[in-house]
Structure 1
């Protein structure tokens, strides 16, 4: 298990527990009572830390290398998944995945950004940063789901859309804008869930839905803390301050009315118990789909437009 810097007290306790078990095995002494005490101490220490997480610490959790990504959730939640490839124009973008899946007997179109689980796969997946063809693939799959009257669930986890020269040459801005325009008009239920990082237009490109939800330790904002720090202070050294000022965590997003709900994670984060997290997420998806499907398609579209049109704070003079 990998520990983040603020989890050092937990890491120290785990190390002591491992030594205790090792000594017990070598000496043949029953240390079960002491082990139980250490396990309780670990749980109490973790609870104390996680009750007072800063915005930057939640950003760190959203990027934990063991945190489940889109395909990991689909694999755990669905009995089958048929991945579909390509935008029918340029190529298949490995940073964006999608296809039909069986969710307890219901066919659902899952679409989401996918980060790599090791160095080679991170390069292949472009670190979860889609190119224009990724967003065009996503739109193609959404239209396919609409054609067959199947609900859509998007899982958002990206540090941002890829901003390289070639991406701009192929129309990155247009591709994202087209998705916003088309997603508003989809006649099937659309649920969007931020499962990790939700940065800028890269997240919005698959983030227009009837319900927008966030995992407890995810974030959602216009720019990453590091890039915000670089712009405002000409240095990455103020990323913690930037994270606080951006108000990017799930509780702030809920207060501002930018998301419709927060999905609790197991204590310690989704990576501590991916199976439990997938079970919680699956139950929430099924509950939300059942709720949204009761609404007439025309009414859903109208509510979707009103929902996003009313976001933000402004004054008229």
Structure 2
């Protein structure tokens, strides 16, 4: 397991525990008391650290290299999954995956950002930064889901839409704006879940739904802390302060009414117990789809429009 900088106490305790277990196994001595003591200390330290996380530490957790991505959740949540490719215009964007699936026998359309699990795959997936064809592929799949009356689930995890010149030439802004307009008017239930990073229009492009929720250790805002720091202070060195000022955590977003709820993660983050996290996510999706199906399609659209229209506040 990889440890982040604020997890140094956990790394030290884990190393001690592994060392004692190694000695006990090699020398055939009973060190169960010491092992039990260290394990209790590890649990206590982990609980203390994760109950007092700063906004920047949550940003770090959302980017943990071992954190589950969309393809992992699909493999654990869905009984069947048939991936669909291409936007029928330019090509297939590997930063966004999607297709028809079944969750406990119920058909759905599931779409999400995919970052890649190693260097080669991260390059192939463009680190989860979608091009216009990725958002157009997502919209094509949503319209297909609407045609066959299947609920839509989107899993959001991106540092932002790809900002390259070629993406702008092919209409990055228009593609995202089109998705916002079309998703508001979809006649099927739409559930959007932020499973990692939720940055700017890259997240919004598949983030308009009847329910928009965040995992506990994720973030959702208009700009990353690093880029915010660069703009305001002309340096990345103030990213910690930027993370605090942006109010980007799941608790902040829920408090502002910009998301509909927060899904708790296991202590230690989603990467520490990915199977448990997938189970929690599946339970939420199944329950929420059942709730949304009971609402008339026109009523759902009306509520969706009203929800997003009422977002935001200001002071004179």
Considering the TM-score relative to the shorter chain, is it more than 0.5?
yes
5 Å-filtered alignment, 1:131-146, equals 131-146=131-146
TM-superposed CA distance for 1:32, in Å, is 1.8
Matched, 1:207 2:227: no
- For residues 214-255 of structure 1, the C-alpha deviation after alignment (integer angstroms, 9 at most, x for no partner) is 000000000000000000000000000000000000000000
Matched, 1:235 2:228: no
Distance 1:225 1:293 in 2: 38
Distance 1:43 1:110 in 2: 35
Matched residue, 2:250: 250
Matched residue, 1:19: 19
5 Å-filtered alignment, 1:119-130, equals 119-130=119-130
Distance 2:109 2:39 in 1: 41
TM-superposed CA distance for 1:307, in Å, is 0.4
User: RMSD of the TM alignment (CA)?
Assistant: 0.7
Structure 1 range deviating more: 203-212 or 21-30 = 21-30
Matched residue, 2:59: 59
Distance 1:26 1:173 in 2: 61
- When the two structures are aligned, how many residues end up with a matched partner? 316
Matched residue, 1:276: 276
TM-superposed CA distance for 1:209, in Å, is 0.1
5 Å-filtered alignment, 1:1-317, equals 1-314=1-314
* Consecutive aligned runs of 4 or more in structure 1 exceeding 2 Å deviation: none
Distance 2:315 2:297 in 1: 33
TM-superposed CA distance for 1:33, in Å, is 2.2
Structure 1 range deviating more: 284-293 or 214-223 = 284-293
TM-superposed CA distance for 1:315, in Å, is 5.1
Distance 1:107 1:30 in 2: 53
SS for the counterpart of 1:220 is: strand
SS for the counterpart of 1:270 is: coil
Distance 1:272 1:171 in 2: 39
Distance 2:38 2:136 in 1: 52
Structure 2, unpaired ranges of 5+ = none
TM-superposed CA distance for 1:31, in Å, is 1.3
TM-superposed CA distance for 1:290, in Å, is 1.0
- For residues 160-185 of structure 1, the C-alpha deviation after alignment (integer angstroms, 9 at most, x for no partner) is 00000000000000000000000000
SS for the counterpart of 2:271 is: helix
SS for the counterpart of 1:67 is: coil
TM-score, structure 2 normalization: 0.99
Distance 2:26 2:148 in 1: 63
SS for the counterpart of 1:56 is: helix
Distance 1:314 1:237 in 2: 30
SS for the counterpart of 1:272 is: coil
- For residues 141-170 of structure 1, the C-alpha deviation after alignment (integer angstroms, 9 at most, x for no partner) is 000000000000000000000000000000
TM-superposed CA distance for 1:314, in Å, is 2.6
SS for the counterpart of 2:223 is: coil
TM-score, structure 1 normalization: 0.99
Distance 1:25 1:294 in 2: 58
